[in-house]
Amino acid sequence: MAASTQNLAVAALKFLYERVLFISLGAIDGFTPSRRPRRLPVVLAPSEIRAILERVTGPAHVCVALMYGSGLRISECLTLRVKDVDPVRREIVVRNGKGAKDRRVPLADRCIGMLERHLREVEATFRADRRLDIRPTGLDASLRRKYPNAELEWRWQYVFAATRTLVDAEGVRRRHHLHETVVQRAFKAAVERAGITKRATCHSLRHSFATHLLESGSDIRTVQELLGHTDLKTTMIYTHVLNRGALGVRSPADAL
């Protein structure tokens, strides 16, 4: 049985015992966890990324450019707020990333123009929302107590706001960020139209960001910091897919 299937079953059992029956599950006799297979990340060449960007339009285009240009996870990209993007300093602050960690990542020069044009469109939507008293999601009660006007301020709005709104449990109409599937579908369609046969996903952009940085001579500790990895071993996997041949050696066939 696959490790992911086992983890799902164990999580369900733990929830049943601890949250429903209020009994400690303890150790499960006769259970041997499966080892998750080690797989190399899918890395796209710069020409392939360029071809994908040429075939993606709208907010998904900006999102794809940021994921590659800054090494963002798709969830980190879609939950960005206006205040966390700094075109002057050429950086993005990722808030509450994986492991509840904040970090700073570079903002590519080629992304600034498209991002500013996108934000002008988002700001127009925000102005209309203010008149209709539509507020953003994702601001917890403690933050709203600390900043009572945060929901009404431009800087707290999502960079990638959804087109639809919803009504929460308090009866307030709110606007969430763009759903992940919108970008994933646009990316998948662009990969197919570009004729790329690699099993590429949005996360492949993050893999490509790390690999291309290492290929250009960046220090692996710096890449670890930019990706937000706690363990250097997680970052080391990118050294196995560098553009220098398998394990960094040349094939003897090249000498023929």
Whole-number Å distance between alpha carbons of 10 and 33:
10
Exactly one of 61, 68, 73, 175 is catalytic; name it: 73
- 146 catalytic residue (yes or no): no
Q: Which residues, in sequence order, are CB contacts of 181 under 8 Å at separation 6+?
A: none
DSSP line for 204-250: HHHHHHHHHHHHTT--HHHHHHHHT-SSHHHHHGGGGGSSSSGGG--
Whole-number Å distance between alpha carbons of 137 and 150:
11
Exactly one of 81, 174, 175, 238 is catalytic; name it: 238
Exactly one of 55, 95, 98, 103 is catalytic; name it: 98
- 14 catalytic residue (yes or no): no
Paired residues of 81 in beta bridges: 158
Q: What is the pLDDT of residue 249?
A: 63
- 212 catalytic residue (yes or no): no
Whole-number Å distance between alpha carbons of 233 and 242:
16
- 203 catalytic residue (yes or no): yes
CA dihedral of 3, 9, 180, 89, whole degrees rounded to 10:
-60
Whole-number Å distance between alpha carbons of 132 and 244:
56
Superfamily designation of domain 46-244: Intergrase catalytic core (1.10.443.10)
Q: Is 116 helix (H, G, I), strand (E, B) or coil?
A: helix
- 98 catalytic residue (yes or no): yes
- 238 catalytic residue (yes or no): yes
Q: What is the pLDDT of residue 178?
A: 96
User: Mean pLDDT by 10-residue block, N- to C-terminus, for the chain (256 residues)?
Assistant: 85 91 84 76 94 96 96 95 95 88 93 95 95 92 88 95 92 95 97 96 95 90 91 84 59 71
